[in-house]
Structure 1
Amino acid sequence: MKMKKGYGRRSLTLMLLAWTMLVSAACSSNGAGGSEEPLAPPAKAAAATSSTPVKVVWWHSMSGELGQAVDKLIADFNGKQDGIEVEGVFQGTYDESLNKLKASLGSDSGPTMIQVYEIGSRFMMDTQATRPVQDFMDAEGYDISGLEPNIKNYYTFDGKLYSMPFNSSNPILYYNKDAFKAAGLDPENPPQTYEEVAEAAKKLTQGGQTGASFAIYGWFMEQFFANQGQELLNNGNGRSSAATASQLNSEAGVNTLEWWKEMLDDQSLLNLGRKTDDTKKAFAAGQIAMMLDSTASLRGIVSSAEGKFEVGTGFLPKPSDAGEGGVIIGGASLWLMNNKSEEESKAAWEFMKYLADPVTQAEWHINTGYFPVHTKAYEEDSVKENLKKYPQFQTAVDQLHQTVPNAATQGAVMGVFPEARQITETAIEEVLNGQSSPQEALDKAAKEITSKIETYNKTVK
Structure 2
Amino acid sequence: MRTKKWNVLLTLTVLVGILAGCGGGNSGAGQDTGNGKAANPATTSTETASAEAGKTKVQFWHSLGGKNGEYIDALIKRFNDSHKDIEVVGTYQGNYDETVTKLQQAIASDTAPDVSMLERAYVQMFADSDVLEDLTPYMEKSGLSKDDFTPGLMGHSIFNDKLVSLPLNRSTPILHVNKTLLDKKGLAVPTTWEELKKVANALVEKKGKEYTRYGLTMPYDTWYPIAMISQAGGKFFNDEKTSTGFVGNGVGEKVFSYLKDLQSTGALYYPPAQDSGNIVNGMFTEGKVAMMFQSTGAIGGLSSSVDFDYVTAFLPKNDRFANPTGGANVSLMSSSKQKDAAWEFIRWMETDPQGGLQFILQSGYLPFTKKMVESPEIKELWAKEPNRKVAYDQLQYAVDTNMDVAWPEVMQEFFSAIEAIMYDSKDIPATLATFNKEAERILAEN
User: Structure 1 length as normaliser, TM-score?
Assistant: 0.83
Per the TM alignment, residue 327 of structure 1 is displaced from its structure 2 partner at its CA by: 2.0
Distance 1:415 1:245 in 2: 13
Distance 1:433 1:100 in 2: 33
Which residue does the alignment assign to 2:346? 352
Which residue does the alignment assign to 2:209? none
1:292-340 per-residue CA deviation (whole Å, 9 max, x = no partner) reads: 10001111112121xx211111111221xx14x5222211111111112
Which residue does the alignment assign to 2:154? 152
Which residue does the alignment assign to 2:261? 262
Q: Name the aligned partner's letter for residue 288 of structure 2.
A: Q
Per the TM alignment, residue 96 of structure 1 is displaced from its structure 2 partner at its CA by: 1.0
Q: Secondary structure of the equivalent of 1:154?
A: coil
Please give the residue correspondences for 1:318-329 in structure 2 after superposition, counting only pairs within 5 Å. 318-319=317-318, 322-323=319-320, 326-329=322-325
From 237, 242, 245, the equivalent of 1:247 is: 245
Per the TM alignment, residue 348 of structure 1 is displaced from its structure 2 partner at its CA by: 0.9
Distance 1:370 1:299 in 2: 10
Please give the residue correspondences for 1:4-403 in structure 2 after superposition, counting only pairs within 5 Å. 11-22=1-12, 23-24=15-16, 25=27, 26=29, 27-29=31-33, 52-186=54-188, 190-206=189-205, 208-235=212-239, 243-249=241-247, 250-274=249-273, 275-305=276-306, 308-319=307-318, 322-323=319-320, 326-341=322-337, 344-357=338-351, 359=353, 360-400=355-395, 402-403=396-397
Please give the residue correspondences for 1:429-448 in structure 2 after superposition, counting only pairs within 5 Å. 429-448=419-438
1:214-237 per-residue CA deviation (whole Å, 9 max, x = no partner) reads: 22310112222333453211236x
Which residue does the alignment assign to 1:418? 408
Distance 1:122 1:154 in 2: 7
Per the TM alignment, residue 139 of structure 1 is displaced from its structure 2 partner at its CA by: 4.6
Q: Is the 8 A contact 1:254 1:439 kept in 2?
A: yes
User: Comparing both chains, which one has the higher relative contact order based on Cα–Cα distances under 8 Å and sequence gaps of 6 or more?
Assistant: 1
Distance 1:142 1:20 in 2: 34
Which residue does the alignment assign to 2:37? none
Distance 1:229 1:149 in 2: 21
Per the TM alignment, residue 57 of structure 1 is displaced from its structure 2 partner at its CA by: 0.4
Q: Name the aligned partner's letter for residue 330 of structure 2.
A: L
Per the TM alignment, residue 291 of structure 1 is displaced from its structure 2 partner at its CA by: 0.8
Per the TM alignment, residue 140 of structure 1 is displaced from its structure 2 partner at its CA by: 4.7
From 414, 439, 442, the equivalent of 1:452 is: 442
Per the TM alignment, residue 382 of structure 1 is displaced from its structure 2 partner at its CA by: 2.6
1:367-425 per-residue CA deviation (whole Å, 9 max, x = no partner) reads: 1110010122133333233223322112112111x327xxxx14432233234333223
Q: Is the 8 A contact 1:94 1:116 kept in 2?
A: yes
1:123-149 per-residue CA deviation (whole Å, 9 max, x = no partner) reads: 111222221212322455423322101
Q: Secondary structure of the equivalent of 1:210?
A: strand
Q: Is the 8 A contact 2:63 2:94 kept in 1?
A: yes
Q: Is the 8 A contact 1:358 1:377 kept in 2?
A: no
Q: Name the aligned partner's letter for residue 309 of structure 1.
A: F
Structure 1, unmatched stretches of 5+, are 1-10, 31-49, 237-242
Distance 2:137 2:385 in 1: 38
Per the TM alignment, residue 154 of structure 1 is displaced from its structure 2 partner at its CA by: 3.1
Task: Return closer, same or farther for 1:158/1:100 CA change in 2, 3 Å cut-off.
Answer: closer
Distance 1:201 1:410 in 2: 27
